[in-house]
Amino acid sequence: MGLQAKSMHGVWVSRWTFILAATGSAVGLGNMWKFPYVAGSFGGGAFVFVYLLCVFLIGVPVMMAEVLIGRSGRQSPINAMRHAVTVSGAAQHWRCVGWLGVTAGLIILSFYAVIAGWALDYVVQMARGNLIGADGEVAAGLFAELTNNPLRLIVWQTAFLALCMVVVVRGVRKGVGTAVEILMPLLFVMLLGMLVFAVFKGDFSAAWQFLFRFDASSLTWRAILEAMGLAFFTLSIGMGAIMAYGAYMPANASIGQTVLVVALFDSLVAIISGLIIFSIVFATPGIEPSAGPGLMFISLPVAFGNMPGGLLVGAVFFILVVIAAWSSAISLLEPAVAWLMEAQNYSRLKANVVLVAAVWVLGLGTVLSFNVGRDATIAGFTFFDALDFLTANIILPLGGLAISLFTGFAMRKAIIEEQIPELKGAWMTAWRAVLCYVAPFAITCIFVMGIYDKFFL
């Protein structure tokens, strides 16, 4: 059997398309929602430094491994792992890595679509002027009004999933490839426009100092572990998306250089988002950078509603959030679509309909978790909490850990040399050391921390 499998799905038009697609997968709510509020909660600069260190010293090597497996297999993550296991002569239990990624992607998409629907709703709220002069109580009331209305949430959830399906059903080149070639440049242009606004209308100097002033006293072990976890989350490691996109990567593209560019773009989006958000936060009295998850949907709307031209800027901001979520969501759907086409000989349309319907039904549990089902808990978990905990704290860490260990210890060396010929000598030694020892240790810490926080604190 050859070391390189053949693809039935096609290949990206260029290395640049892969960069845009992988950046689109990585850039999402994690960058524009989670990064700012977690950085705010852990004191800013020191946290950002550790986060970037984790992205480039740990996240990039693991991401390279995931792309490597995908390009070698040229199929869905499930079959790409099967191919890698077979040609490496490795134990068959390694094949579960592909299943973990695809399963995690679909579960995440089920609640991701609901939260992305909030951003869609806020675009309309801003356009209608509902937040003009709003204070914290009014903004909190509008958010509660949204989440307490199941039908409204279902409408936005359905609209967002329809947007995803419209892209993925058109295939790798005409659908996903074309979409990211439009969406990602548009996102960067809009993001830079928002940054210019933040420089002139917000308190940019305070935001800059907050994000880049290094205060060692705020660098606790908790902050370090949070930074490691966020680095893996924002790079989409272990979700199957990067492995699937790697399967469509041109054979002559350098995996190492390409992944570095993706990590750089992903980090830039997170930092620019933080500068934009904190410039607005610091320019608005009564709003704290440590406001937590409500920073985007309660605190920021107050800021937008009380500044000149703020509602237009707010609408643009939430359109940005929707674009980021959309580019990530299509990468969560594509791996499972590819597998159904390979394993069941489904057409791309049929695979999309089946999967989107299943994800939509599963997402109803998340919708109800915020209203009529909020009191229906098991071990303290609502339905949404359970899915979020299962994916973020169990499946994704296990997937990242397995990818690291498989590539570091079990994958045939010839496959690595074929896919990453530029990685030689000391660079190869360092890369494999990260995969064999550093990344597994870091991921295990994240895994243990997640379990401990939930059940023992």
Please report, to the nearest 10 degrees, the dihedral formed by the alpha carbons of residues 117, 123, 129, 132 taken in order: 80
Would 92 be classed as within a structural domain? yes
User: Which stretches of 235-299 are DSSP H helices?
Assistant: 241-247, 255-282, 294
- In the DSSP assignment, the letter for residue 412 is -
Domain count, the chain: 1
Q: For residue 350, give the amino acid letter.
A: K
Q: Would you state the pLDDT for residue 361?
A: 98
Separation CA 243–CA 245 (nearest Å): 6
| Residue 434 predicted with pLDDT over 50 | yes
- Mind listing the pLDDT tens digit for each residue in 137-189? 888 899 999 999 999 999 999 999 999 999 999 988 889 999 999 999 998 99
- Mind listing the pLDDT tens digit for each residue in 207-254? 898 888 887 777 788 788 888 888 877 888 888 899 999 999 988 899
Tokens 């994916």 correspond to 391
Would 250 be classed as within a structural domain? yes
Would 3 be classed as within a structural domain? no
Q: Would you state the pLDDT for residue 8?
A: 63
| Residue 86 predicted with pLDDT over 70 | yes
- Mind listing the pLDDT tens digit for each residue in 421-431? 988 889 999 99
Would 410 be classed as within a structural domain? yes
Q: What is the pTM of this model?
A: 0.91
Separation CA 332–CA 351 (nearest Å): 14
Q: Would you state the pLDDT for residue 5?
A: 58
Does residue 33 contact residue 321 with C-beta atoms inside 8 Å? yes
Residue 400: its H or E element: helix 396-405
Separation CA 284–CA 300 (nearest Å): 9
Domain CATH for 49 = 1.10.4160
Separation CA 334–CA 241 (nearest Å): 7
Would 2 be classed as within a structural domain? no
Would 247 be classed as within a structural domain? yes
| Residue 42 predicted with pLDDT over 90 | no
Q: Would you state the pLDDT for residue 1?
A: 42
Range of the domain at 81: 15-455
Would 98 be classed as within a structural domain? yes
Separation CA 200–CA 18 (nearest Å): 35
| Residue 283 predicted with pLDDT over 90 | no
**∠ CA 143-291-134, rounded to 5°:** 45
Would 7 be classed as within a structural domain? no
